[in-house]
Structure 1
Amino acid sequence: MEDALLLGGNCSVRRGEAHEEVEELLALAGVGGRREVADAAALRDLADDRLGFVASHTQVSRRAQEEVLLAGVQSAVDEGQADQQTELLVGGHGRGKYKSRFQRLRRSRILLPLRVLHLYSNHKLTGPAELALETVRALALRGVDARFFSSDVKEQGGRTRRVQRTARERGVPEAELTGLRLPKHISPLRALLDVRALRSHLRADPPDVVHCHLPGDHLVAGLAARGLGVPVVRTLYDGTPPPPTARRRLAWGRLTRVLICASEAVAQAVRDRAEDYGIDPVRVVHFAPPIDVRRFDPTRGLAPRREALGVPEDAFCVGIVARMQTHRRFELLFEAVRRARAEAPSLHLVVVGRGTHQELVARRPVEELGLGDCVHFSGYVSGEDYARTLASFDAKVFLVPGSDGTCRAVREALAMGVPVVATRRGMLPELVRDGEDGLLVDETPAALAEALVTLARDPERRRVLAAEARRGAVERFAYEVLAERLEGLYRDLPTGA
């Protein structure tokens, strides 16, 4: 293939069919533009397995790169030097359908890497932001040219992009899109300006796909990409199906090629009401939300933090990770702990998180129920201390999803090999497999207390649940699994969708 590309590039130069940038391209590949070429090994060394070396090493325009690469493949076909797969990809002779043929070649990983632009219209590092950032990084590790762009926010000294800053710190590839703001709450005027700015960028340097993560960036991208042949994909992180509004009918039905739902139940609900949402049900798919199974890995040998948390080493330690808010059902949890302690006196509860209502929601009820000696408040915990805190738990409780409908804390616990006791709200039944890696219970103190006592009395069952929790998390939630599925989806998108 490398010989064919070089041959075709030189043929296009000799025949006077190539722009001068193509000659420059060949020279940068170590090839004299007007002399015969034979050293394919030199090109292989530069090609990084996908012949995309020029994009990162030169200022030659992408159109020139595509021209010489396609010309090479076409010449190989014309002169009988291409294999059958290449002939099928090129799809015949002539150059009348240059763009679509090159798209097929690129998406088949024969030429330049697949290019995907990810947009995120929020300046806060929330659960979906983590998912978007790490997804881009996982795609990049697969060789996809994936780039991330997020909202800016006004701070002292000017505007800044907090999520973008985190992306930079983590080595997530960024996109430079001058004039694009993408605020979370967007006015009609700002939306118009952002559509114009993004459309200008898409025309000048079109990616293969634009992948959106929130309603604001979705609407802007969908309008900006109309008529440009750049398909738009949206991931929906909601744990329950949102109502079918006029805006969603426009964005989902007319501006989106594929809607990816983090919840299978939500995906099915959207399919069932496809007419209300204005979307073709075949365009609705389910990809499970991922988690960093390398960071949350019990085999890393992280030292538990029981002493720092005030939990005895021989205690049956249950944890909950949640903001202390009135709707999170802490009153149910504390009453269940009170009941369970009568049969499992070694039970201790660790509350990880913060909240403006923590006195009302948590601390006062704990004292009133006489649980001060067995309920411990760790406050907000991050970094390695957070992973070590999870390693301190024998089981974890999750009752009500918060702002992150994907219930990230559940996936983190499962990846750490911690069985989860959960209710059946939202997508919790999809994450926790009842009797396999955790227990699903009714939302009553009696049901929750019974589950806690069951686990406290049966260390062997906890061990089995823990092992399956870890195994299942790696199989279902690893970023590598999502990245592979996303790349396949991107490559299957029709050109011009």
Structure 2
Amino acid sequence: MKVLQIFNNWKWTGPAEYAFNLTSMLIKNGIEATFTCGFPPEEAKESLITFARERGLIPLVNSNLNKHFHLRKNFFAYQGLVRLITEKKFDIIHTHLTNGHLVAALAAKKAPHNPVLIRTCYESDGGGIRDRFLYKKLTDGIIAVANSTRRSIIDRCRITPEKVRFIPAAIDTERFDPKRGLKNNRNKWGIKPEATVLGIVARIQRHRRFHVIIEAVAKAVKKIPNLKVMVIGRGTNIKELAIDPVEEMGLAKYFVFTGYRKDDYVETLSCIDIKVFLVPGSDDSCRAVREAMALGKPVIVSKRGMLPEIVDHEVNGLVIDDEPEILAQAIIKLSEDIIFRERLGYNAFKKAHTQFSLQKQFRKVVDFYEEIMQKKRLFTRKGKVFDLGVKRASRRSKGDGY
């Protein structure tokens, strides 16, 4: 089996890490896999390419692989992919974002050996209108990282359920395994060992509802005076959305802003006792939630997106309405009831390491690859091409391919 992973962006994001880790696992398990991505602008200090190279994988870079639709760049990216797919004879073309899906699907149709086109969807609502068109017309199989995503794709696109497979987004659980004897770096941030630390790991953006968290902390510290809040992340609006409101409300002594962490990320995340996550990011995969769970940390989440699928209420975390008073009560409960908190943390650890591991994801993805490849071979006979997703057939002249 030969697999081409296409990620049409240069930024290191949740979906980028998913695609990269999957490629690495394919290679590790003896499958020939190639990773291709976009080229970063000159001013970019960090990119997907730098992260990939640090982890020992050299990607193929295409400066025309753009996240957003651009007619000229799409045309040149299409030409490059046609040459690459035809020359290397990839069996599987696996895409992860909308524009890359479009370009790859057109290039795959041009290839004479008729490769399989797979798409991973990270959005809880199944994506937009363009995605739904691509799923229905130009895709052989779809991987959904949440059950709600899978249901949405099936219902909104009227696609047969067999075409859409739920495979949870995976993380490097070994990296976050506390059994490795991981150390925290509370001393670096001036946090005392006896403090209860609430962690927020996210890019500071307007839609993230930081005001709810700040108001909840203001209520919680009245009962939990040793509470500390670590904000791990960056954002162009961090001063307006977080730093200034914290200072104005007299809460500065409770907050620690670490900024974006790279080399000591695991040690910094290990400082926390409780994680809070109210709004999924742009991709909905909620990588930071899975990482905290892998460390054995209970997570307080809202009922938004796929969060209630990742966190089970009062089993490995708390699922709440994201209002300040309700969040404050959740923080107080987990701060005061240490036995309850540790039980949730242990269950979070178990779920993460049994359901979110890279090896488990690899096996499920490869099984899906093989299943879709077999179906495509069965449904392509004597020049007749069947659309597996909508159960329709169209005739072409012999030898035209799929």
TM normalised by structure 1 equals: 0.71
Alignment of structure 1 residues 299-378 onto 2, 5 Å:
299-378=179-258
Asked if 1:124 is matched to 2:7, the reply is no
Matched, 1:434 2:328: no
Identity between Structure 1 and Structure 2 (%): 37
Tell me the CA shift for residue 166 of structure 1.
3.1
Deviation per CA, 1:397-456: give whole Å up to 9, x if none.
111112231111101100111110111111111111111111111111111111111111
Q: How far 1:469 sits from its partner (Å)? A: 1.0
What amino acid does structure 2 have at the position aligned with 1:123?
W
Contact 1:304 1:389 in 2 (8 A): yes
Q: Distance in 2 between matches of 1:489 and 1:389?
A: 36
Question: Which letter maps to 2:89?
Answer: P
**Given the alignment, which residue of 455, 460, 470 partners 2:339?**
460
Distance 2:260 2:42 in 1: 24
Contact 1:325 1:361 in 2 (8 A): yes
The structure 1 residue matched to 2:170, chosen from 290, 294, 317, is: 290
Task: Choose between structure 1 and 2: higher helix proportion.
Answer: 1
Shift of 1:344: 2.1
Q: Of residues 267, 272, 275 in structure 2, which corresponds to 1:396? A: 275
CA contact (8 A) 2:6 2:94 kept: yes
The structure whose residues are more often strand, as a share, is 2
Aligned residues: 374
- Residue 264 (1) aligns with residue 151 (2): no
| Structure with bigger gyration radius | 1
Secondary structure of the residue aligned to 2:345 is: helix
Query: Which structure has more RCO (C-alpha within 8 Å, separation ≥ 6)?
Result: 2
Structure-2 change in CA distance of 1:155 and 1:366 (3 Å):
closer
List per-residue Cα deviations over 1:140-159 (Å, max 9, x = no partner): 11211111011124438xx9
Aligned 1:408-423 pairs, distance under 5 A:
408-423=287-302
Q: 1:423 to 1:160 in 2, by over 3 A?
A: closer
Contact 2:26 2:362 in 1 (8 A): yes
Write the distance in 2 (CA, Å) between the matches of 1:442 and 1:376.
Answer: 25
Amino acid at match of 2:90: P
Q: What letter is aligned with 1:444?
A: E
Distance across 1 between alignment mates of 2:234 and 2:45: 26
Matches within 5 A, 1:192-207: 192-207=75-90
Q: Alpha-carbon deviation of 1:238?
A: 1.4
Deviation of the 1:193 alpha carbon: 2.6
Q: Aligned partners of 2:267 and 2:253: how far apart in 1?
A: 22
SS across alignment from 1:290:
coil
- Kindly provide the amino acid, as one letter, of the partner of residue 322 in structure 2: E
Asked if 2 retains the 8 angstrom alpha-carbon contact of 1:218 and 1:234, the reply is yes
Contact 1:152 1:160 in 2 (8 A): no
Q: Which amino acid aligns with 1:415?
A: A
Decide which moves more: 322-331 or 288-297: 322-331
Task: Return the letter of the residue paired with 1:130.
Answer: E
The corresponding residue for 1:475 is 354
How far apart, in 2, do the equivalents of 1:394 and 1:198 lie?
47
Q: Any idea what SS the aligned residue of 1:117 has? A: strand
Q: Name the counterpart of 2:391.
A: none
Contact 1:191 1:220 in 2 (8 A): yes
- The TM-score with structure 2 as length reference comes to 0.88
Structure 2: distance between partners of 1:249 and 1:382: 36
Post-superposition shift, 1:354? Answer: 1.6
Partner amino acid, structure 2, of 1:148: F
